[in-house]
Amino acid sequence: MSPFWKREKKSDAENIAEMQTASPPAAEAKTDAAPPEITVKPAEAEAEVKEMAAAKPKVLTAVMSGCTGCLISLTDNYDILLDLLDAIDYRYETTLADVRQIPDDQMDIAIVHGSICLQDKRQVDDIRKIRQNSTFLVAMGGCAGSGCVTRFSVGGQSATPSHESFVPVANLVKVDFALPGCPTGPEVIANTILAAVGADLEYLKPLAELAGFACGCDLLTKIIGNGLCIGCGTCAMACPTRAIDMAYGRPHVNQELCIKCGACYAQCPRSFEPTFEMIEKRVMGVE
């Protein structure tokens, strides 16, 4: 599947068919899990594919403790937003769609934004329910992924002084894929949703490693501290608060400005490396 900004506009059926055919075979995706055994006969499989094409993947987006900026980022996909929403069956969303109850049936993709307040019983119950009822759980944005700016909370504020512990989703339940950044980029949200719809594990795999505590000091500990920095300045570019200055080819993080969103480390070309084949095929358009 090519990135969305290279895709031509197509109908729903074509989109879904493309996503399903474009998903790489399990063996090629190099996952640790063994490829599933094929037990269905070709005719049955064909019928099943047709049925799946008819049924869109069920998606929910749930807000926890955050500013909903990442949801706005999702809607900032302008040109392809309607295509994106058309490709999924949007089941629960309190802001974009007025649905108040988290559905009880099984979801394919659950997108959570905002960190979890441990003292808010509703959020703790909700996130456990969402995890139980969904195949993929995506932590969208810094707050859900790493706690981001809510990490600085110490409680004592009105009107709920007892709300003091705001933690990443991964602290309570397993997060399949995290999207760092404050807010995380519209394009990466669209790419991730489409990849999850198409079970495109090649794209999703690195996102599995990005959940949990993050900070500008990751650059010191994980990149420079491991002899990996090449002074390209991508971290400083990615920083939403301009907390990173480049001097003599190395990042210098101003801890007063860092909001612990994790964008710098995730954007660093030396944190995870997409393969050359992936870049050639999906971005450069050379085969």
Partner 1 sequence: MVLGKYSDIMTVKTTDKTLQKYSQDGGIASALLIHALETGVIEGAIVAMPTDEPWNPEPYVATTPEEIVAAAGTKYVLCPLNNALKIAARENGLDKIGMVGMHCLTYAVRKMQLYPFGARHLPNKMALLIGIFCTENFSYTGIKAIVEELHKVNIEHVQKMDVSKGKMIVTSNMGERVEVPVKLTHNYVQPGCYICPDLTARTADISTGSIGSPDGWSTVMPRTKVGKDLFQSAVDMGLFETKPIDPGKTGMEMLTKLAQNKWDRSEKTRAERAEIGLPNPF
Nearer to partner 1, 19 or 102 (CB): 19
Q: Could you give the CA distance from residue 175 to residue 172 in angstroms, rounded to a whole number?
A: 9
Strand duo 58-63 + 116-117: pairing: unpaired
Tell how far CA 227 is from the center of its chain: 28
> Residues 12, 44, 48, 209: which binds partner 1 (CB under 8 A)?
209
Exactly one of 115, 123, 134, 184 binds partner 1 (CB under 8 A); that residue is: 184
Q: Taking Cα atoms as reference points, which of 156, 69, 65 lies closest to residue 116? A: 65
End-to-end CA distance of the chain: 13
- Rounded Cα distance between 114 and 252, Å, is 28
Part of the chain binding partner 1 (CB under 8 A), chosen from 21-29, 80-88, 112-120, 222-230: 222-230
From candidates 137, 194, 201, 236, binder to partner 1 by CB under 8 A? 236
Size of the residue set binding partner 1 (CB under 8 A): 58
- For the record, the structure tokens of 148 come out as 């981001």
Token representation of residue 205: 């795999």
Residue of 55, 162, 249, 255 that binds partner 1 (CB under 8 A)? 249
180 with 214: CB under 8 angstroms? yes
240 binds partner 1 (CB under 8 A): yes
Token code pair at residue 218: 């990751």
- Candidate residues 64, 216, 234, 253; the one interacting with partner 1 per rule CB under 8 A: 234
Q: Cα angle vertex 114, ends 113, 115, to 5°?
A: 130
- Give 66 or 181: the residue with its C-beta nearer to partner 1: 181
Least distance CB 244 / partner 1 (angstroms)? 8
Q: Which residues pair with 58 in a beta bridge?
A: 89
Residue (87 or 140) nearer to partner 1, CB: 140
One residue of 74, 179, 199, 201 binding partner 1 per CB under 8 A: 179
Q: Is 233 in the site for partner 1 (CB under 8 A)?
A: yes
Q: Which is nearer to partner 1, 82 or 228 (CB)?
A: 228
Among 9, 230, 255, 257, binds partner 1 (CB under 8 A): 230
